[in-house]
Structure 1
Amino acid sequence: MGSIVENIKQKASDIYINYTGHHPLDPLTTSEINKAVSIVRETKGQLGYNAVTIAEPKKAEVIAWLADSTTAPKPPRQAEVVAIDKTGAIWDGIIDLDAGKIVQWEKLEGVQPLITMEDLIETDRVVKSNPKVIEQCGILGIPLTDMHKVYADPWTIGYDSRFGNSTRLQQALMYYRPNPDDCQYAFPLDFCPIVNTETKEVIHIDIPEVRRPLNKIPSNYHPKDIESAGGYRTDIKPLHVTQPQGVSFSISGREISWQNFKIHVGFNYREGIVLNNVTYNDKGTVRPLFYRLSLAEMVVPYGNPEMWHYRKHAFDLGEYGGGYMTNELALGCDCLGEIHYLDAFFVNRAGDAVTIKNAICVHEEDAGILFKHTDFRDNSVIVTRGRKLILSHIFTAANYEYCVYWIFHQDGTIQLEIKLTGILNTYAMAPDEDTKGWGTQVHPGVNAHNHEHLFCLRIDPQIDGQSNTIFQVDATKGPGKVGSAENFYGNAFFAKKTKYSTVTEAMGDYDGDTSRTWDIANENKLHPVSGKPVSYKLVSREVPRLLIQEGGLVEKRAGFARHAVHVTKYRDGQIYPAGRHVPQSSGEPSRGLPEWIAENPEEKVDNEDIVLWHTFGLVHFPAPEDFPIMPAEPMTLLLRPRHFFLRNPALDVPPSFCVTPSGVKEGNGVVDATDRLSKLAFGGNAGEGVRGACCG
């Protein structure tokens, strides 16, 4: 086993090519984080650090440097700092690492920075030692000697008008583990402490008017429990994924080259993976596709209107940080095959750089059939299996896991897939209690509330250049009634395209009846055959509405989710659609995307440097099959080339099996169908052997 692991490590190291210096969009290294903290300490003294990350250079500077790195100046290397002083005041700063000085330092009012993992762990400790919390546990039948079996899932408080946003607060969702390996979510407690993050005090406890008893029945998912319930399946045979000749991608620093794609892979504490300067080498011409792609925000509103449950609407990226919550990935478990990993670097409260090993997994997978055709006339056939490159990270937000996969396909398609797994957020339930439709009893005494998972994808396109336009595309019945000259049989239909010309016009909702998609087009360049603008199409089918009433708390705080699509003109620094600092915002005034739109509602967004914001996701009505741990539920969307390539760009992928019409004949007959299928089944791996024999 050891030799196999070493071999894998060696192959991973072999994919590196020569690389010197940093890319302007590379994440900060540990030494750069330490340098930024050192510069701040010299003038500002001892502070607590909430974040130290790359301050992304101005887009124009990066574009100029990418166009000619020999003559254009390299953008300055700067760090963005969020710090908290001893009084609890919040400071935003920009540190010039090249010059070794602070270039911006601002005290913030009326906002709170995100909650870190250190904050969460400390809150769990504070809650369990609080006398009033101990008292409430006693009321539910948990003795003092069992307080080490009590656990808190700290959440940001959302917004509670009783406490405002002048101090950093968390709410603690309470659970119990009778035995060390028990699933705590089977034993929810019915009260909710509120904690001052800075003073480490419980300032209030929300207690329901009608108390719910503590459940006594476990529901677990660890091996010993499965064995006691009948054991694991025994009919699963080994499945091995191997690439004897190594991988088909190469990495230079943080740039990945694969199948005509080139992608710079960034990573930050908030968004996790950030893809920059995605390009495609189209037969020798490097064509820009996207300047920046990222999951910029998400919100998970819960649907129970009763006291304190309305506060359960986590902005998992803006309030906790998808990067901060990232898992260290493990070969054979999180990723399978020939793997290369990239680490992530952050700061802790004390200002020390910390490393999350194996934060990003880079690997290839079989992608099934890329294209195929069989001619029924002569039995000629071609089938080509595809390959895909996957860049992934997984983050754990208390009870939930989010598995994020950026997938690149050989036909130029870029896919984003997210798998949701982990454990339902649960609440105590009295016997025969009416859930009122707001939730489901998934286990005796355990209520799992309805909720949504809404993600906001930030797309900064550069489709053959920086000037792009968004078109809404709807499948539409043709004009004219049945019997009319223009549509006699009533069968005409077409793609109706609506240009988004201004920011106000550029607010679109999904319509399944019209199979609505959105074209990201460069109107300045037309396809030589179709005559249509070169474009990439956003294909996204899982786009539920934000199920919050207009004027509701979540609707105000998550303004980005009011529509499936928004378009804004690009501006440096406009990255986070719910605002730069999200915790404890009330939504008044609006922050982020609604604020930017309101500043210039008639701003022109056609044939401009634009950003497309897309909110998608799913609605989760829990069921017993989701408990005690939820099978992964996937959702996906595509960015597909349309009128971009001259023809199918994957024609040069070697076929897995091919018999041309002229090669079908054998003597006076035709290749036996059984023989042909036999060759396909046993000789068609990666086009090996059969390709040469049958495709000449």
Structure 2
Amino acid sequence: MGSIIDNIKHKVAGVVTKFTGHHPLDPLTPTDIALAVSIVREEKGQLSYNAVTIAEPKKAEVIAWLADPDHAPKPARQAEVVALDKTSALWDGIVDLDSKAIVRWEKLEGVQPLITMENLIETDKVVRADPKVIEQCGIIGIPPSDMHKVYADPWTVGYDERFGNAIRLQQAFMYYRPDPDDCQYAFPLDFCPIVNTETKQVIHIDVPEIRRPLNKIPSNYHPKDIEGDGGYRTDVKPLHVTQPQGVSFSIEGREISWQNFKVHVGFNYREGIVLNNITYNDKGVVRPIFYRLSLAEMVVPYGNPEMWHPRKHAFDLGEYGGGYMTNELSLGCDCLGEIHYLDAFFVNRAGDPMTIKNAVCIHEEDAGILFKHTDFRDNSVIVTRGRKLVISHIFTAANYEYCIYWIFHQDGTIQLEIKLTGILNTYAMAPNEDTKGWGTQVHPGVNAHNHEHLFCLRIDPQIDGHSNTVFQVDATRGDGEVGSQENYHGNAFYAKKTKYTTVAEGIADYDGDTSRTWDIANTNKLHPVSGKPVSYKLVSREVPRLLIKDGGIVSKRAGFAKHAIHVTRYADGQIYPAGRHVPQSSGDPSRGLPEWITANSSESIDNTDIVLWHTFGLVHFPAPEDFPIMPSELISLLLRPRNFFLRNPALDVPPSFCMTPSQVREPGLKKQIVDAADKLSRLAFSGTSRQEVAAACCSDH
């Protein structure tokens, strides 16, 4: 099977993909997964598999191979294996697929592996059949005959000091669905079972002192309900996105070439999309920009201090896996236009490979005006429309959907855009109950609690090489009072740059008053005109602070979220800022990023191989407009070239329309060009290439 998969040619949307052997950072194929499991099974016997994924080679080995793939040794193909034995003991291992040998096998104590989709589905069934759960349902008016209408959203338990982390637990948020098509989140139940994941037993039920009645009023979003509430809008006309000549990108294996960019697209069960070895061809010189970009972790703490609600603080990547929860995408719905898809391959509990079809969507979109100028003196004009390459995946974390878009722009900018949609996590409330400000009644009897969505972006830069430095950049008023010689009118301001030189110094918060940004610079290379170091600037404005107080359980577990910026020196294996195994961690001792910082606080991060960790996101105070299904809410940040290119790198993008000053002055030519605009527009829509349209637009007459 592997030889077939590794050598097939796959044609989608005009893109020919050639699989000619793996790249060292390629995800494991189904054949790789099956081989890893067979090696472990032969030596270790029957196990339950939690994860089998690529063990990324050491950075130095990959860099050496990338520099000279014909002569440098290719890094070993290895698999990380996380498994549970019959006693529920956790084992962490590395399997070398080339030598077919286990090279590391370690039993771990005091940690729990992530909760898989199989675990979630099982818990949903377990609670429905449990006599104690049936009893609680009866108390609030749901008869035993209706238990098939009861549903659970299982979450890892977070951390509960009553149970600790010796056994693998889930908590089940309970809902009711009177009709098969009802939105269950309109019918939240007021109790919370705790389930032992391994024994599949309900071990405890948290019940409030004052019971809350079951809501009786539905709130739905399916077609039959919309049709019964006035129907759908009738003035929405078709919108078609076409590329008659195909797309402008090419793919070889998992490496994409587009508009001078090259990027390798990895994917794993935890982070989802991982972008590797991003380079830019600057007029024949291939310049490295980033070695690795990924969303490495996220935390969603809820703001209600009552009962079990403090346990609601999901680490959706570290506790469930953004890759595991990835959707199979659909053409025309999730992605629009000429699409290329990549599949994702994982392992199930039995050790069998499984496939998520169309896990990653790759396509181009119109990006609006790239640049434009009209000279007011003569109305000469140039306007160039841009396009963007979008690499995306969407994952569903119980009630929420997270739409992750990595976007490449023609001016060298890389953008990360996240859309949040799906359904609010809801809780039952009594008539006239005071939400105390911790939430909002979004529907009669339905309370949606305040919460944050905080994402941690891991940036492993290679700005013209691997020796980089981070500068904090603050818009700052110039010295001198109004009336002084150096600042008579008080109008002076400048970009104040603060260099981070040690790990301890490389910790910072966002400051909106100074429009704070961060330069990731190569100080060994100066721009020939500005004299400033070549750099990429992190521009991120949606950076709320972690609202959980110091000493709180979330603050201890999610130490990475206490600050917007942390900078560390690169070390192999330091990938996950909340630690390798997140479920039921107590924060004592701290794991992941806080642990690395404490151990290496005096280490230099100046002009060396570094990693920048950035926490960003939003605070969500729910409203009725977010229910029963939430319109997408957008978060975005940019990595922009600064002093990197000699001048605007997008000048060679063919213009959409141009009329030069000399053309304007030529008698009769202006009218000819203006009259030609409609024709040019029709050419563009008829399939004529952008270059041909531009040539027709700007040709001499």
Give the TM-score taking structure 1 as reference length: 0.97
> What corresponds to 1:138 in structure 2?
138
**CA offsets per residue over residues 219-257 of structure 1, 9 Å max, x none?**
000000000001000001111000000010000001000
Alignment of 1:475-494 (within 5 A): 475-494=475-494
Query: What does residue 12 of structure 2 align with?
Result: 12
Distance 2:352 2:428 in 1: 40
Cα distance change, pair 599–690 in 1 and its aligned pair in 2 (3 A)? closer
Residues 242 and 484 of structure 1, relative CA distance in 2, 3 Å threshold: same
The corresponding residue for 2:290 is 290
1:11–1:43 Cα change, 3 Å = closer
Q: Which amino acid aligns with 2:300?
A: V
Q: Distance in 2 between matches of 1:575 and 1:674?
A: 56
How far did residue 543 of structure 1 move?
0.3
* Alpha carbons of structure 1 residues 11 and 245: separation in structure 2 relative to 1, 3 Å: farther
Q: Tell me by how many angstroms 1:691 deviates.
A: 3.8
Partner in structure 2 of residue 642 of structure 1: 642
Aligned equivalents of 2:486, 2:232: Cα separation in 1: 64
Q: Which residue of 2 aligns with 1:358?
A: 358
Tell me what 1:268 maps to: 268
- C-alpha distance after superposition, 1:105-142 (max 9, x if no partner): 00000000000000000001110000000000000000
Specify the code of the residue in structure 2 equivalent to 1:318. Answer: G
Amino acid at match of 2:343: D
Alignment partners' CA distance in 2, 1:670 and 1:63: 54
Give a deviation string over 1:354-410, Cα, whole Å, max 9, x none. 000000000000000000000011111000000100000000000000000000000
* 1:589 to 1:182, Cα distance in 2 relative to 1, 3 A: same
Identity in percent? 82
Given that 1:660 and 1:695 are in contact with CA atoms closer than 8 Å, whether structure 2 keeps it comes out as: no
Query: What amino acid is the match of 1:40?
Result: V
Spell out, residue by residue over 1:37-64, the C-alpha distance to the aligned partner (whole angstroms, 9 max, x if none). 0000011000000000000000000000
> In 2, distance between residues paired with 1:391 and 1:380?
37
Structure-2 residue corresponding to 1:381: 381
Distance (whole Å) between structure 1 residues aligned to residue 490 and residue 504 of structure 2: 35
Which residue pairs with 2:4 in the alignment? none
Superposed CA deviations along residues 506-558 of structure 1, whole A, max 9, x for unmatched, are 00110111100000000000000000000000000000000000111000000
How far did residue 287 of structure 1 move?
A: 0.3
Contiguous gaps of at least 5 residues in structure 2: 1-8
Pick one of 667, 688, 698 that aligns with 1:694.
698
Whether the 8 Å contact between 1:658 and 1:695 is mirrored in structure 2 is: no
The CA distance in 2 between the partners of 1:666 and 1:231, in whole Å, is 57
Check the 8 A contact 2:13/2:338 in 1, yes or no.
no
Instruction: Give the aligned partner of residue 153 of structure 2.
Output: 153
Change over 3 Å in CA distance of 1:152–1:17 after alignment to 2: closer
Deviation of the 1:694 alpha carbon: 3.0
**Are the counterparts in 1 of residues 654 and 694 from structure 2 also a CA contact under 8 Å?**
no
Asked if 2 retains the 8 angstrom alpha-carbon contact of 1:476 and 1:494, the reply is yes
CA–CA distance in structure 1, aligned partners of residues 118 and 134 of structure 2 = 23
Alignment of 1:167-206 (within 5 A): 167-206=167-206
Q: How far apart, in 2, do the equivalents of 1:488 and 1:225 lie?
A: 67
TM-superposed CA distance for 1:669, in Å, is 8.6
Which residue is 1:26 aligned to? 26
CA 1:669–1:20 in structure 2 vs 1: closer, same or farther (change >3 Å)?
closer
- For 1:606 and 1:63, how far apart are their aligned partners in 2? 21
Distance verdict in 2 for CA 1:486–1:180, change over 3 Å: same
Q: Tell me: CA distance 1:377–1:127, structure 2 relative to 1, closer, same or farther (3 Å).
A: same
Whole-angstrom distance in 1 between the partners of 2:469 and 2:77: 32
Q: In the alignment, what sits opposite 2:5?
A: none
CA distance in 1, matches of 2:698, 2:584: 66
- State the secondary structure of the residue aligned to 1:598: helix
Please tell me whether residue 241 in structure 1 is matched to residue 245 in structure 2: no
Quick one: distance in 2 between partners of 1:597 and 1:425?
34
Task: Report what 2:617 is aligned to.
Answer: 617
Which whole-Å CA distance do the structure 1 matches of 2:154 and 2:43 have between them? 34
Q: Once the 2 structures are TM-superposed, how far is the Cα of residue 671 of structure 1 from its aligned partner?
A: 4.3
Q: Map 1:377-416 to 2 at 5 A.
A: 377-416=377-416
Q: CA RMSD in A?
A: 1.5
The range that moved more, 379-388 or 684-693, is 684-693
Alignment of 1:243-262 (within 5 A): 243-262=243-262
C-alpha separation in 2, matches of 1:161 and 1:10: 52
Matched residue SS, 2:318: helix
Do 1:684 and 1:690's aligned partners in 2 also have CA atoms closer than 8 Å? no
Does residue 1:564 correspond to 2:568, yes or no? no
Q: What amino acid is the match of 2:189? A: L
Query: Could you list the runs of 5+ residues in structure 1 that have no partner in the other structure?
Result: 1-8
* Alignment deviations for residues 154-187 of structure 1 (CA, whole Å, 9 cap, x no partner): 0000000000000000000000000000000000
Q: Is the 8 A contact 2:567 2:605 kept in 1?
A: yes
Aligned partner of residue 234 in structure 2, secondary structure: coil
Residue aligned with 1:209, SS: coil
Q: Contact between 2:14 and 2:247, CA under 8 Å: does it hold in 1? A: no
How far residue 275 of structure 1 moved from its aligned partner, in angstroms, is 0.3
Aligned position for 1:5: none
Q: 1:299 to 1:155 in 2, by over 3 A?
A: same
Query: Is the 8 Å Cα contact of residues 419 and 632 (structure 1) preserved in structure 2?
Result: yes
SS in 2 for 1:638: strand
Distance in 2 between the 1:680 and 1:376 partners?
24
Give the deviation of 1:13 after TM superposition: 6.6
8 Å CA contact 1:51–1:82 kept in 2: the answer is yes
Query: How far 1:692 sits from its partner (Å)?
Result: 2.1
Aligned residue identity for 1:619: V
CA distance in 2, matches of 1:76, 1:673: 60
CA separation in 2, counterparts of 1:243 and 1:104? 50
Task: Quote the residue 2:313 is aligned against.
Answer: 313
How far apart are 1:681 and its partner, in Å?
5.9
Deviation, 1:12, is 1.2
